[in-house]
Amino acid sequence: MIGTVSRAAQVLKEADHILILTHRRPDGDTTGSAGALCLALRRMGKQAYIAPNAQITRRYAHLIEPYAPENGFDPAFVISVDCADTGMIPPEMAAYAEHVDLVIDHHRSNTGFGRENLVMGERAACAEIICELTEELGIPLDREIAEGIYVGASTDTGCFKFSNTTSNTHRVAAKCLDAGVDGGEINRALFETKSRARYEIEGMLFSGMQFYHDGKIAVALITREAKRKTGADWDDLDAIAGIPRQIEGVEVGLTLTELEDGDTKVSVRTTKEVDASAICTLVGGGGHIRAAGATLHCPAQEAIVRMLEATERVYRGETA
């Protein structure tokens, strides 16, 4: 299942008429990786596009929207970036989900659903893999390509603060800075600038937070009513799941968001004492050791009970 960068480069050199897929509720890593890869392929003279993502937010739209397919485009080669399984692929891209020619991903839980799979679980961000791949392809890292890579690496490591950050992450970031990327401005826009709606949502989140397991588990709920009252959209909620874990003594932060269809989106962030992926696996989700998620097909209060049960099982060592 796990291929090599050289093999992926070989496959891409032979491919053309390429369509790149991003995942549901796209973040900086999937969009940055897709944008950088699309540009690199175009530098090679390939016809490459990124499938439109209906859930794209204004924060990341500029990374993929300029590369939407032309009318009538019929891809001959499909790539997914930052998708651990076909369930992460948005419904508007469902026609391609079972026909992915190359999977590029950094989730250890990746199911290997592609014809070829480049899965590097030791990388903090998929963007790091894209950086290696462009080098293997012999494509110079110019500022435009580097911007997407930098956004992916920065967002998936919490501005290089999360424990998944490695020396390779910093080397990739340094290459992007050398290519002319303004890292300071990107990080200011991504991590320091907040809308009024975001501030109001954060206030509600803190005031309603509940604590369990002697204060080691913090549960935050973002209701549909809170989103309506503040006018917050998914862009305003970006990276909000990291807030509960910031509280002293908290080892597991559970952030639940009520979806319009009645389901509940769950984001889990943990410290080094607890495996977030193990918690989410118990409820049908997955992800990384310190950051994972799932969508539960039930109301929020039931989802809270199920997530607390799963977390307690992980504390007891019951991970299967």
Q: Please compute, for residue 204, the number of CA atoms within 13 A of its CA located in the half-sphere on the CB side.
A: 21
> How far is the C-alpha of 302 from the C-alpha of 259, rounded, in Å?
14
For 226-272, the pLDDT digits (tens) are 999 999 988 888 889 989 998 999 999 999 999 999 999 999 999 98
pLDDT at 1 over 70: no
Share of the chain above pLDDT 90, in %: 88
Task: Output the pLDDT for position 320.
Answer: 63
Task: Output the pLDDT for position 41.
Answer: 98
**What domains sit in the chain, N to C, each tagged with a CATH number?**
5-191 (3.90.1640.10), 196-315 (3.10.310.30)
Residues contacting 216, CB < 8 A, separation 6+: 249, 250, 251, 252
The first and second tokens of residue 6, run together, are 């050289």
Q: How many CB atoms lie within 10 A of CB 74?
A: 7
Distances (CA, A) of 166 to 116, 154, 280: 26, 12, 24
pLDDT at 51 over 70: yes
Task: Output the pLDDT for position 280.
Answer: 94
Whether residue 126 contacts residue 37, with contact meaning beta carbons closer than 8 Å, is answered with no
> How far is the C-alpha of 50 from the C-alpha of 42, rounded, in Å?
12
- Give Cα 46 distance to the centre of its chain: 26
The first and second tokens of residue 166, run together, are 């490695």
Closest CA to 241 of 280, 214, 273: 280
Mean pLDDT score of the chain = 95
Work out the angle between the directed axes of helices 167-178 and 143-155 (0-180°, nearest 10).
150
**Strand-pair partners of 219:** 210, 254
* DSSP states of 92-153: GGHHHHTT-SEEEE--TT----SSEEEE-TT-S-HHHHHHHHHHHHT----HHHHHHHHHHH
> How far is the C-alpha of 205 from the C-alpha of 136, rounded, in Å?
45
Task: Output the pLDDT for position 192.
Answer: 87
The first and second tokens of residue 17, run together, are 């008429």
- Give Cα 144 distance to the centre of its chain: 20
Task: Output the pLDDT for position 2.
Answer: 66
Whether residue 179 contacts residue 141, with contact meaning beta carbons closer than 8 Å, is answered with yes
> How far is the C-alpha of 81 from the C-alpha of 48, rounded, in Å?
14
> How far is the C-alpha of 283 from the C-alpha of 268, rounded, in Å?
12
Which range has the worst mean pLDDT, 23-37, 186-200, 246-260?
186-200
Task: Output the pLDDT for position 108.
Answer: 87
For 86-144, the pLDDT digits (tens) are 999 999 999 999 999 999 999 988 989 999 999 999 999 999 999 999 999 999 999 99
Distances (CA, A) of 311 to 197, 218, 227, 284: 30, 11, 26, 13
For 68-96, the pLDDT digits (tens) are 999 999 999 999 999 999 999 999 999 99
Model pTM score: 0.83
Distances (CA, A) of 110 to 12, 105, 152, 183, 275: 20, 7, 18, 30, 17
The first and second tokens of residue 71, run together, are 């009318």
pLDDT band per the 50, 70, 90 thresholds, residue 311: very high
**Strand-pair partners of 28:** none
User: What 3-state class would DSSP assign to 75?
Assistant: coil
